[in-house]
């Protein structure tokens, strides 16, 4: 279980992001980022991490780390961890490095700009590799899974968060019935499909569960009403934030039989 205070802290480090205006900085310091979907995903990843037995000096890779929500959360609480994020967007990497320096975490938390399809990661290095909503953006996802397999220690763990195939996703508000993400290179994943790909690349699935049940989905939708009209979206996100935040917290601790995302724990096959 992820506690209320733990969920509250996800993403709050980005109050140190360069060039934030004072109002956004204050909101982020008090409540965390206004965008809840990345925090829900991070919360599900942290919940699944509780089932792993990482060493005190664990070496962790976030493959396609984005703003590094999980890495920053871990760095604050586990000073002996060695944490590394690879992210394709150079501006995001620069921002993450600036935040890490500001928080005096740069000794244990590093970021690298790179493409997972071609990044040369050291063999058998990591105790844990996590990847959150990344593979659906990569054409040759099997190739990347093989790279990640080679980077794991023999007893290491792969933790994936992936969107369920959008044709199978359950929406709540009518405005989201046809909502899709334009930069996905495939129609996301079905459970059996990703399990087959993992087995083909040398992984054995230990757990596969759903996230973004009705509570997480409603939190996302309330947080993104009128997503194509930015000022209105922000205003409505602020007005619905208390309810959406509570629903988001409930979702990451819920056990659901069906949801809009997949959370997978896998280990290298012996």
Q: Under CATH, which architecture does the 4-268 domain have?
A: 3-Layer(aba) Sandwich (3.40)
Crossing angle of helices 37-49/230-253, nearest 10°?
Answer: 20
Coil, strand or helix at 72: helix
Cα(18)–Cα(20) distance, rounded to whole angstroms? 6
Confidence at residue 122, expressed as pLDDT on a 0 to 100 scale: 75
Confidence at residue 227, expressed as pLDDT on a 0 to 100 scale: 80
Confidence at residue 113, expressed as pLDDT on a 0 to 100 scale: 97
Check residue 184 and report its DSSP letter: -
If you average pLDDT over residues 192-220, what whole number do you get? 98
- Dig out the tokens for 99 from the structure: 């935040």
Confidence at residue 102, expressed as pLDDT on a 0 to 100 scale: 97
- For residue range 173-194, list pLDDT tens digits in order: 998 988 888 899 999 999 999 9
Domain chopping of the chain, boundaries = 4-268
On the question of pLDDT at 197 being above 80, the answer is yes
On the question of pLDDT at 12 being above 90, the answer is yes
If you average pLDDT over residues 1-20, what whole number do you get? 96
pLDDT band at residue 69 under the 50/70/90 scheme: very high
Among the listed residues 79, 86, 160, 171, the one whose alpha carbon sits nearest the alpha carbon of residue 121? 86
If you average pLDDT over residues 200-228, what whole number do you get? 96
- For residue range 107-140, list pLDDT tens digits in order: 999 999 999 998 877 788 999 999 999 999 999 9
């Amino acid at each position: 279980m992820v506690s209320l205070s733990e969920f509250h802290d996800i993403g709050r480090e980005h109050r140190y992001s360069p060039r934030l205006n004072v109002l956004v900085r204050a909101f982020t310091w008090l409540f965390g980022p206004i965008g809840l979907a990345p925090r829900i995903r991070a919360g599900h990843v942290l919940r699944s991490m509780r089932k792993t037995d990482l060493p005190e000096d664990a070496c962790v890779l976030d493959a396609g780390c984005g703003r590094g929500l999980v890495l920053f959360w871990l760095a604050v609480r586990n000073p002996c961890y060695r944490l590394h994020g690879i992210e394709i967007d150079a501006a995001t990497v620069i921002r993450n490095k600036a935040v890490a320096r500001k928080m005096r975490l740069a000794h244990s938390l590093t970021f690298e700009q790179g493409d997972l399809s071609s990044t040369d990661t050291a063999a058998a290095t990591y105790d844990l590799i996590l990847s959150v909503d990344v593979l659906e953006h990569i054409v040759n996802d099997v190739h990347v899974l093989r790279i990640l397999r080679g980077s794991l220690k023999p007893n290491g763990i792969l933790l994936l968060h992936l969107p369920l195939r959008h044709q199978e996703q359950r929406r709540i508000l009518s405005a989201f019935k046809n909502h899709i993400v334009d930069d996905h290179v495939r129609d996301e994943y079905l459970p059996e499909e990703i399990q087959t790909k993992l087995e083909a690349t040398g992984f054995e699935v230990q757990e596969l569960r759903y996230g973004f049940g009705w509570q997480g989905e409603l939190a996302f939708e309330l947080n993104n009403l009128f997503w194509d009209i930015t000022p209105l979206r922000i205003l409505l996100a602020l007005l619905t934030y208390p309810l959406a935040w509570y629903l988001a917290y409930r979702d990451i601790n819920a056990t659901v039989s069906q949801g809009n995302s997949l959370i997978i724990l896998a280990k290298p096959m012996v």
